[in-house]
Amino acid sequence: MKKIIILIPVFNDWESLSKLLSEINENIISVSEINLECLIVNDASTIQPPELRKPSNFWSIELLNMRENRGHARCNAFGIRYVFQNKEFDNLILMDGDGEDRPEEIKSLIEKIKEDSTTSVVAKRVKRSEGPFFQFLYQFHKLITFIFTGKNINFGNFCILTRSDVEKLHSKASLWSSFSGSVKKYIKSLKEINSIRGLRYFGPSKMSLFKLIIHSLSIIAVFKYQVFLRSTIMLIALAYLNSYLGVFSIFFQISIVIFNLLIFVVSLREQEKDLLNSNNNLVGVKKITH
């Protein structure tokens, strides 16, 4: 019987988590021959966690309490290392705890990986729930990422990983900054399911414009050497076109230089030492068995 672990980072959003666990429980009923365990990374919430109960279709639930708030990406990075180092498992599912990763799609992830148990599966976003401005920024991010890295990254955290792919990722410095960028860089073969981004269960989105920009730059920074190489080629090409483009050539050259400086600064977030020592931020594990 396969053992699947679901990893969910949470900061204060306990009402959404309770609803999510209930809906996962309902949607997992028809998936047979798996033991389902859930690890919840409590990112130093300022709101006291409620008394959680284990839904009937879960083997167990563990609450991992962190000492200091490190943010969503770093909770995922810590969780991936913790799972690999401390758990026996066949697959690891990563998902958000607010409802935007729809629990009904877990079944699709599991069914897809059953077709080929050696290949991880990501949830490709085919429809988003945000407004037109956010969707425009998202498409612009994908375009810039492709131009400077040659990579089409059309997925977020929602995925199901094989144990071997978790092993590849768990010690990579870039994981501390960007999960999806790290997956695209280090996992050469991936399958996809189509995914619709759901609506948050409660409250407004926590993704500000500033956080969105940092998130985008963090993904691109995983491929910083490709960015620097492609940018150099672009700058040389623009230098030759100066006489044709005039002031536009100078504008694009300055923009590329500034962009590369931003990528370099954001790449400093990739701290291998902090990733390898992330277990020091764990203050306790609470197991919920009923």
CATH of the domain at 111: 3.90.550.10
For residue 90, being part of any structural domain is answered with yes
For residue 7, being part of any structural domain is answered with yes
Task: Identify the pLDDT of residue 147.
Answer: 96
For residue 113, being part of any structural domain is answered with yes
For residue 144, being part of any structural domain is answered with no
Tokens of 121: 């599966």
For residue 281, being part of any structural domain is answered with no
CA distance 114 to 188: 19
Look up the domain containing 111 and give its range.
Answer: 2-138+152-203
For residue 219, being part of any structural domain is answered with no
CA distance 167 to 170: 6
Kindly report the CA angle at 37 between 36 and 40, in degrees rounded to 5? 140
Residue 258: name the closest of 209, 217, 208, 226 by CA: 217
For residue 184, being part of any structural domain is answered with yes
Total structural domains in the chain?
A: 1
| Helix 224-240 × helix 209-221 angle, to 10° | 90
pTM, rounded to two decimals: 0.92
Q: What is the DSSP letter of 11?
A: S
Average pLDDT value for the chain: 91
Question: Quick check: 202 and 13 in contact, CB under 8 A?
Answer: yes
> What percent of the chain is helix, strand and coil (3-state, nearest 5)?
50, 20, 30
| 52-80 residue pLDDT tens | 888 888 989 999 999 999 999 999 999 99
| 4-50 residue pLDDT tens | 999 999 999 999 999 999 999 988 765 667 889 999 999 999 998 88
The percent of residues in the chain predicted with pLDDT above 70, rounded, is 96
| 227-266 residue pLDDT tens | 999 999 999 999 988 888 888 889 999 999 999 999 999 9
β-pairing, 91-94 vs 2-10, is parallel
Question: Quick check: 64 and 82 in contact, CB under 8 A?
Answer: yes
For residue 212, being part of any structural domain is answered with no
